[in-house]
Structure 1
Amino acid sequence: MKKFKLKSVALALVLCTGALSLHAQNDGIPVDKLSRMRGLGGDATQFDQQSKLQYNQMLAEAHKKDAVATDTNPQLIRLRAIAKRIIPFTTRWNPDAAKWDWQVNLLNSPTVNAFCMPGGRIAFYNGILTKLNLTDDEVAMVMGHEIAHALREHAREQAGKNNVASLFGRIAGAAGAAYFGVDPRVGDALGNGAAKMASLSFSRSDESEADMVGMDLAARAGFDPRAGIALWQKMGAVNKNQPLPFLSTHPSGNQRIEDMNKNMNLVLPVFARAKGLDANNLPPYRSIALPKS
């Protein structure tokens, strides 16, 4: 009888653990299917090889200028530690990420930027860390956002969208020239303009998705998603002369903050669980002020 009870308890624990694991996968930002437009952007393997080549060429050029941080650089050590916490959760958004050759490098440049190329090749510019005085949580938000672009295959998707937009743009231009009896070159210019605007719109959509996926990744890794709000407040303070949102490939800082706040209720419980905290009694997020200019 005792043996049966132990087996019953063990079975209950397994079922409970499985339910908790399923809940952990289903909470947070909902996972959408990858865009079918990726297929119009070229072969995935070839795209990855091109990305690898470009990344290695970039590093080679940076090495020539002694602009690549060494493995003992404290900021690079910090970046790699943050990446190590985030990467285990990437397969939720793209199962192929388990096979990627993840890399993290730091470039000694005042540029306020970071990126993650297809295949998990990450690079940060030193300027984004120093000029924005980023906390680890804020670095995780930047890194999560950039990783999200790679996970959702936005580069290949964008290539596919551009191909379609250019095709329809040329068709629209030719049709307009024929209908209105204008110079075909004018029609081509109008078509190219329409294609360009469509591409800008797609890019803003990708940026918004990357914000949400990045928040989710950071929260699962135990980084406070509220850091995204502080990050874009800092970005806005540093970059006051940003282009109008309608003509930019990036949503405005205010729009990003609004979207993050709308979805914060989805990721805060994930963060709280990762830290072993009560989601209803989280301490306020504390950022670090921008350095004095």
Structure 2
Amino acid sequence: MFKPHSLSMLIGAALLAGCQAVNTTSGGAIGVDRKQYMFSMLSTEQVNQMYAQSYQETLQEASKKGVLDKNSAISKRVNAIGQRLIAKAPVFRPDAAQWAWEVNVIDSPELNANCGPGGKIIFYTGLIEKLNLTDDEIAAVMGHEIAHALREHGREAMSKAYGVQMATQLGSAFGLGDGSLQLANMGVEYLMTLPNSRANENEADLIGLELAARGGYNPNAAVTLWEKMNQAGGSAPPEFMSTHPSSGSRIAALQANIPKVIPLYQQARTGS
């Protein structure tokens, strides 16, 4: 009979066997190079297709409600910014040039925006109107969101969730007691989930900062954006901040890295 320690090692080996260590993007000027663990049976194409279906359902629902914004000044601003940033995405991963990118605006008071797997972008007008965002600040939001898609953080999160499920199933199959099984789950959570969630936000900040600069948008706007987010928080933080928590350390990290991308911004502005 296996001892709990041996069973834990066996579960770990089984989980690793289904994983691939990958780096979804090049490091760029800032140098984001963390290896990511993805389950091999969960491909980029599968995740992109799943999200594309959900994205279209969201657009259809918005269209039925008459809130899919195609022609307003805000929509034109967001789309123009989107095209400039999308053009720079292949710097970080060449295959992004073949993604079926979409940029859409929904007329809603929500303070939210996202870019899902495969380059599916949605902005809510409330984020722009209520925070009075400049084009540079819109680019800071969009760059951050595009970075999540380029790094496949969604697929990475799904791989982690699958790992937790597999650990549970394997533990039950091999007869781990409740205490040992709980310990195995905690190990998966702390070793895989929590550190990477913090790392993902940092990566999106840094890649987004560089992406916006390469698109010709002032990287200092990333700081003013998060300052506005903090001010808008109060007792009821914006929905955007529920998945993108702000803090002084985040702003400090952005400020520390801005000098690295200022030359890219200046080059983009002068066209040299």
Q: TM-score, normalised by structure 2?
A: 0.78
What SS does the aligned partner of 1:115 have?
strand
Corresponding residue to 2:207 among 207, 213, 218: 213
Q: Tell me if structure 2 keeps the 8 A contact 1:109–1:126.
A: yes
Q: Tell me if structure 2 keeps the 8 A contact 1:146–1:214.
A: yes
Q: Tell me if structure 2 keeps the 8 A contact 1:102–1:119.
A: yes
CA deviation string 1:123-175 (max 9, x = no partner): 00111101111000000000001111111111111111222344457778999
Q: Which has the higher strand share?
A: 2
Task: Tell me the residue number matched to 2:137.
Answer: 138
Identity of counterpart residues, as a percentage? 40
Unaligned 5+ residue runs, structure 2? 1-25
Give the letter for the 2:196 counterpart: F
Q: Within 2, Cα distance between the matches of 1:273 and 1:233? A: 27
- Alignment partner of 1:147 is 2:146: yes
Residue 235 and residue 172 in structure 1: after superposition, are their counterparts in 2 closer, same or farther (change >3 A)? farther
Give the letter for the 1:107 counterpart: I
What SS does the aligned partner of 1:224 have?
coil
Task: Tell me the residue number matched to 1:82.
Answer: 81
Q: Within 2, Cα distance between the matches of 1:56 and 1:65? A: 14
Task: Tell me the residue number matched to 2:23.
Answer: none
Residue 194 and residue 108 in structure 1: after superposition, are their counterparts in 2 closer, same or farther (change >3 A)? farther
Shift of 1:58: 0.9
Residue 216 and residue 116 in structure 1: after superposition, are their counterparts in 2 closer, same or farther (change >3 A)? same
Task: Tell me the residue number matched to 1:275.
Answer: 269
Task: Tell me the residue number matched to 2:15.
Answer: none
Residue 222 and residue 230 in structure 1: after superposition, are their counterparts in 2 closer, same or farther (change >3 A)? same
What SS does the aligned partner of 2:115 have?
strand
What SS does the aligned partner of 2:104 have?
strand
Give the letter for the 1:59 counterpart: L
Shift of 1:228: 0.5
Task: Tell me the residue number matched to 2:33.
Answer: 32
Q: Tell me if structure 1 keeps the 8 A contact 2:167–2:185.
A: no
Task: Tell me the residue number matched to 2:47.
Answer: 47
Task: Tell me the residue number matched to 2:19.
Answer: none
What SS does the aligned partner of 2:251 have?
helix
Unaligned 5+ residue runs, structure 1? 1-24, 179-183, 278-293
Q: Within 1, Cα distance between the matches of 2:52 and 2:141? A: 21
Q: Displaced runs of 4+ in structure 1, greater than 6 A?
A: 169-177
Give the letter for the 1:69 counterpart: D
Q: TM-score, normalised by structure 1?
A: 0.73
Q: Tell me if structure 1 keeps the 8 A contact 2:27–2:33.
A: no
Give the letter for the 2:49 counterpart: Q
Task: Tell me the residue number matched to 1:281.
Answer: none
Q: Within 2, Cα distance between the matches of 1:93 and 1:204? A: 20
Q: Within 2, Cα distance between the matches of 1:112 and 1:40? A: 35
Aligned Cα root-mean-square deviation (Å): 2.9
